[in-house]
A and B are shown apart, each in its own frame.
Chain A
Amino acid sequence: ETGVTQTPRHLVMGMTNKKSLKCEQHLGHNAMYWYKQSAKKPLELMFVYSLEERVENNSVPSRFSPECPNSSHLFLHLHTLQPEDSALYLCASSQDVAGGGGHEQFFGPGTRLTVL
């Protein structure tokens, strides 16, 4: 595998279910990100990890719980979601955290989540 991989690619879940999204980067990067992409809205940054430490949580509801066990893996644990949480969830990585240094972010293909 190369680049950034995400599993599953598609997920349908009920509001009472618990599921997890997985992201793995094979690039040797130090920073990883979770984004939410909804139709007709700009990309929303959810969480940022730098060297396995969370450095940003953009006022994300507690029903989304990230986990970064090492610099190559990132999880997003989901529980008691709402229908409005249906979206494409994208994982990305970069050499270091972004900002003025112009670090490119590499994205996975995303998980298309549908909450019934």
Chain B
Amino acid sequence: AQSVTQLDSHVSVSEGTPVLLRCNYSSSYSPSLFWYVQHPNKGLQLLLKYTSAATLVKGINGFEAEFKKSETSFHLTKPSAHMSDAAEYFCVVSDWDSNYQLIWGAGTKLIIKP
């Protein structure tokens, strides 16, 4: 059965410094992996997705994530944080076994210090 673990419930970084949000997953098959972002009082928006093409995936707003099968990880990074990046980030896994269900992590709240 699939599962997703976001290793940090909160991450705090200073503006202009790198961002790392960690995600580990378990999947019986070749998974599809997603990162979604939720700004306060807004719906969820897709940042990026991995679907068995290039292992380094680039998304919107300068974010990228690397699929590492050996480590079952899909960590989200950004070289330089901006105040507008403050939001909650969700790692999501899906594979053929889950049919139409996306399996969601519990979320990581990203705090940007001025």
Contact = CB atoms under 8 A, between A and B. Distances in A.
Nearest to A5: B43
A43 B107 CA distance: 9
Given A100-B96, A102-B49, A45 B102 contact: yes
B42 A109 contact: yes
* A interface residue count range (under 10 / 10 to 19 / 20 to 34 / 35 or more): 20 to 34
Interface in B37-52: 41-46, 49, 51
Interface string B49-64: 1010000000000000
Contact of B106 (A4, A42, A97, A102): A42
Contact of A48 (B30, B94, B100, B106): B100
A50 B41 contact: no
B85 interface: no
A79 B76 CA distance: 40
B33 to A, nearest CB: 9
A105 B96 contact: no
B46 A56 contact: no
Contacts of A4: 43
Which of B32, B36, B99, B102: most chain A CB closer than 10 A?
B102
A43 B51 contact: no
A98 B105 contact: no
A108 interface: yes
A108 B42 CA distance: 8
B90 A43 contact: yes
A50 B100 CA distance: 10
